[in-house]
Chain A
Amino acid sequence: MTRRPILLAMLDGKGAIFLGVLAALAVLVPLSNLFLPETSPLHVPTYAVSLLGKYLSYALLALALDLVWGYCGILSLGHGAFFALGGYAMGMYLMRQIGPRGVYGHPVLPDFMVFLNWQELPWYWSGFDIFPFAALMVLAVPGLLAFVFGWLAFRSRVTGVYLSIITQAMTFALMLAFFRNDMGLGGNNGLTDFKDILGFSVQAQGTRLALFVATVIALALGYGVARYMVTSTYGKVLVAIRDAESRTRFLGYRVEHYKLVAFTVSAMMAGVAGALYVPQVGIINPSEFSPANSIEAVVWVAVGGRGTLVGAALGAVVVNMAKSWLTGALPELWLFALGALFIVVTLYLPKGIVGTLAEWREKRQATATAKPAGIAAEAAE
């Protein structure tokens, strides 16, 4: 196969719409924020830009999760850990950028170290004052963890719920570890009160817009990478592993290698999502590691449509938007609404929003030739 069909496939159908929407967002949102008067109904206030940026970072996390769960059958209940690690790497960079502007005016140490009597920066903080190094760590730390973890787990053929539960154990252990103040990463408070990123104030309107656009680009790139992976021959093998792992192995494929690559790439994407998330929400702390957060990410994917990539991103945005809106509009009742949403989606939209839409379209266009990458009938269990 040449490269062209793959690129074409990437730009096909949902993918084209998705990238189109992203491109429109990247252009229209900043324009509207900058040039439309505040009274205009179409004006996007700066805080909404950051909010959208947050949703889109979540969308990238969901996309990463869908890559392993939707196409490879690895239900990771620990993807929040990779997200948070990427976030911490970015957070450490942002902390170092504060420099002597902390409340104690210490030239190097972050505030939380000063008042807990730390004398010097622990070794693992070194290098984080340089952006390229921090950016590398955003990819390397989650990637390395996923590689080691995956190498151990896939080699010994840990699958199904066992794998899910040990990924959960991993994120839980990391959460406990990061909660410890002795870790030197701010304990429960985490890292916060950031000032600058690359010399620009994180609170400035321009920086916020730039971060938003960066998130949109990262999401588009993430989508491109994932789409490329799943539409290539490699992706076909992944789907084969998802649907019949033993059979694929008997056919001579090194199943663990395929899984390992997908898992590591996915973790790195989650890390990037975390790194973009942190400057836009202004805080990173250990509760991002909590198992509930990872489960929520799985829920986004399921709501949007497992194994559709676009659906995962859409699910993340829809659920979080609902959450933002409901916690303000129905502060006492929003959990009922959210819980009901999950139940209704599972019962009535088993393929998620995008999967169900695709099904409708399929029914209407009986002539359609290619089957959409819907989720296989039997879940990889």
Chain B
Amino acid sequence: MRNRFQKILATLATAATIALPAAGASAQDVIKVGILHSLSGTMAISETTLKDVMLMLIEEQNKKGGLLGKKLEAVVVDPASNWPLFAEKARELITKDKVAATFGCWTSVSRKSVLPVFEELNGILFYPVQYEGEESSRNIFYTGAAPNQQAIPAVDYLMENEGVERWVLEGTDYVYPRTTNKILEAYLKAKGVKDEDISVNYTPFGHSDWQTRVADIKKFGSGGKKTAVVSTINGDANVPFYKELANQGIKATDIPVVAFSVGEEELAGIDTKPLVGHLAAWNYFQSVDTAENNDFIAKWKAFTKNDKRVTNDPMEAHVIGFNMWVKAVEKAGSTDPDAVIDALIGVSVPNLSGGYSTMMPNHHITKPVLIGEIQEDGQFSVVSQTPGLVVGDEWSDYLDGSKDLIADWRAPLSCGNFNAKTGKCGGQGPVAQ
């Protein structure tokens, strides 16, 4: 008996060692692409769509004959909105599945969790979501917006067009709102806004009772000066926030709310009639009327077999990122990470709003900034667009710690945090790498 027991234990214990590294058939004729988006847990709301869009892009590329004469194959895993699991799955994708590139992550913490893994194993990650900046890794390509590609143009718009003088910076308590609001505060003060005209407030994740906050905003806004809310409220908490705004009758004509995390997907869960005129700043809206975009939307609806599926900014970021990767692999002639990382810089592909986006040496891309107003049908009407493209600024000029840093991954500098003042590559410090 004891033998049997022991056998079971031993089998179970060694199962991991044998089952896990049972690497897929090392087929030479496929190039694997990892998709690292949560399909369950709290972030599934946002991330599942990105998995779908990646599957669509890969299918399309295969219809066009694949890449370097090989078929692309998607490897989908579910990191389940669990941050350590992100790191584990990233490791699995690179070492076990041997993916050529990975598209994934949504939250900053998930990116922070996988960053050491990608650097250690020399993988390539395309990160498609707007974020707080303050990072530039050799192995990560940031196709979402940095704060200067979203927040600052939005504030400029409100100042110039709405004459806003009083600001409520309302955010969920995590690093993206904290950093963005720090940057905005510094920016507003540089523009002459007084301390008492800025109110910063943070609420926890998933905050659902907004009665007090909305009443406070109303109060702050009735001070006689034109007031606007800059919202960095995170996904889940937005719906109750907007519902409360609508219920308490705060109209966009009184106190406009400009949001950086509310797109077409999030609005799909709300009745937008009372919200008409509230704003969002992105680099893409579904309502952008260009041939590329209309074509993309048609394909998306056909792929999902659902006429009501919407498109949004992070999806566009994946489209751009994927096309850039394809181009870079073709340029490099192989999927070797070092070659592709070098080839990616300078690659230009059409974005969906009618221009070209280019991968800059700091691993961020150029984008137009669009300001949209919410319409009754849950779409945005673009009310402002930057005349040219804005280069993503990874190290903000408005933060003390980072204004001297630059990132340039081209040889010979090849550094993500070069301190222009000390002339040193900051991260490496005194210890040699």
Contacts and interface: CB of A to CB of B under 8 A. Distances in A.
Nearest to A29: B17
A29 B14 CA distance: 9
A189 B402 CA distance: 19
A293 to B, nearest CB: 9
Nearest to A181: B178
Interface in A155-177: 176
B351 to A, nearest CB: 29
Interface majority SS on A: helix, strand, loop or mixed? helix
A190 B83 contact: yes
A287 B428 contact: no
A45 B416 contact: no
A324 interface: yes
B304 interface: no
Interface string B84-117: 1101110110011000000000011100110111
A106 B430 CA distance: 11
Contacts of B422: 105
Contacts of A364: 1
A361 interface: yes
Contact of A283 (B78, B84, B402): B84
Contact of B205 (A24, A55, A179, A327): A179
Interface string A308-333: 00000010011001001101100110
Given A45-B21, A180-B173, A188-B175, A324 B88 contact: yes
A44 B430 contact: no
Interface string B129-172: 00000110000000000000000000000000000000000000
A335 interface: yes
A207 to B, nearest CB: 12
A17 B83 contact: no
Contact of B78 (A193, A317, A332): A332
Given A179-B205, A181-B175, A189-B112, A327 B78 contact: yes
Given A181-B173, A203-B116, A282-B117, A17 B5 contact: yes
B298 interface: no
A365 B4 CA distance: 14
Interface in A72-126: 99-106, 111-112, 114-117
A219 B391 CA distance: 51
A116 B84 contact: no
Contacts of B120: 203
Contacts of B13: 21, 25, 317
B84 A43 contact: no
A187 B173 contact: yes
Contacts of B117: 282
Interface residues of B, number: 70
A215 interface: no
A241 interface: no
Contacts of B416: 103
B189 interface: no
Contacts, number: 189
A103 B416 CA distance: 8
Given A112-B175, A117-B400, A331 B116 contact: no
B49 interface: no
B42 to A, nearest CB: 9
Task: Kindly name the residue among A45, A103, A364 whose own CB sees the greatest number of chain B CB atoms within 10 A.
Answer: A103
Given A193-B115, A283-B113, A54 B88 contact: yes
Contacts of B108: 188-189
Interface in B5-21: 5-6, 8-10, 12-13, 15-21
Contacts of A314: 9, 12
Task: Kindly name the residue among B91, B402, B419, B424 whose own CB sees the greatest number of chain A CB atoms within 10 A.
Answer: B91
B205 A188 contact: yes
B429 A105 contact: yes
B369 interface: no
A281 B429 contact: no
B427 interface: yes
A180 to B, nearest CB: 6
Interface in A51-72: 51-52, 54-55
Contacts of A32: 17
A109 to B, nearest CB: 9
Contacts of B190: none
A101 B428 contact: yes
Given A21-B9, A47-B91, A327-B89, A187 B178 contact: yes
A51 B427 CA distance: 28
Contact of B77 (A18, A203, A328): A328
A285 interface: yes
Contact of A328 (B89, B178, B179, B429): B89
Nearest to A203: B120
Nearest to A98: B429
B417 interface: yes
Given A103-B417, A283-B112, A317-B13, A51 B20 contact: yes
Task: Kindly name the residue among B9, B174, B399 whose own CB sees the greatest number of chain A CB atoms within 10 A.
Answer: B9
Given A105-B419, A190-B109, A287-B82, A48 B1 contact: no
A31 B178 CA distance: 47
Interface string A177-195: 0011100000111101110
- Top 3 A-B residue pairs of the complex, sorted by shortest distance between their CB atoms: A105-B426, A188-B174, A331-B78
Interface of B: 1-2, 5-6, 8-10, 12-13, 15-21, 39-40, 76-80, 82-85, 87-89, 91-92, 95-96, 107-109, 112-113, 115-117, 120, 134-135, 173-175, 178-179, 182, 202, 204-205, 399-402, 405, 416-417, 419, 422, 424, 426-431
23 contacts: A20-B6, A24-B10, A51-B16, A52-B16, A101-B427, A102-B429, A104-B402, A104-B405, A112-B175, A115-B134, A115-B402, A179-B205, A181-B175, A187-B173, A188-B108, A192-B112, A203-B116, A281-B88, A282-B87, A287-B83, A317-B13, A321-B12, A357-B8
Given A48-B17, A100-B430, A101-B428, 16 more contacts: A13-B2, A17-B6, A21-B6, A21-B10, A42-B18, A44-B21, A45-B96, A47-B95, A104-B417, A105-B426, A115-B182, A117-B399, A187-B174, A285-B113, A314-B9, A364-B1
